[in-house]
């Protein structure tokens, strides 16, 4: 005997209400090549209390976890820029030494 699903089903044509979103019954996911793309991955991460307090204070109503995520993304982008900049500087210095 199969267990009946406890997950609510939704009519595709029914309008989405703010109550559905607030209740967490709606998860919007991106599709790529017909497949669902998982936007985020759940992890367990231990951070210093001061760091968590800082981001909670800075985030306000927005959500400190979102702010931490955006800060990490920005940090990755800056690392790429830093690596590129170092490469360009090295090439310029080699060009000056050769001249």
| pLDDT, tens digit only, all 99 positions of the chain | 555 555 555 555 677 778 777 776 666 666 667 666 666 788 899 999 999 999 999 998 888 998 998 899 888 888 888 888 889 999 998 888 776
Residues in CB range of 65: below 8 A, 6 or more apart: none
Q: Tell me how crowded residue 52 is: count the other CB atoms within 10 A of its CB.
A: 14
Distance CA 99, CA 82 (A): 26
The confidence score (pLDDT) of residue 75 equals 87
pTM: 0.48
Query: Helix and strand tally (H, E) in the chain?
Result: 3, 2
Q: Is residue 5 part of a domain?
A: no
Q: Is residue 87 part of a domain?
A: yes
The confidence score (pLDDT) of residue 27 equals 60
Q: Is residue 2 part of a domain?
A: no
Domain ranges, residue 45: 18-98
Residues in CB range of 79: below 8 A, 6 or more apart: none
Total domains, the chain: 1
């Amino acid at each position: 005997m199969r267990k009946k699903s406890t997950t609510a089903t939704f009519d595709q044509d029914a309008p989405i209400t703010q109550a559905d979103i607030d209740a967490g019954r709606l998860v919007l996911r991106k599709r790529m090549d017909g497949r669902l793309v998982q936007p985020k991955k759940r992890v367990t991460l231990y951070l210093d209390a001061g760091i968590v307090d800082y981001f909670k204070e800075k985030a306000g109503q927005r959500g400190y976890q979102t702010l931490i995520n955006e800060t990490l993304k920005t940090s990755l982008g800056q690392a790429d820029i830093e690596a590129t900049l170092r490469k360009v500087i090295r090439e310029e210095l080699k060009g000056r030494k050769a001249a």
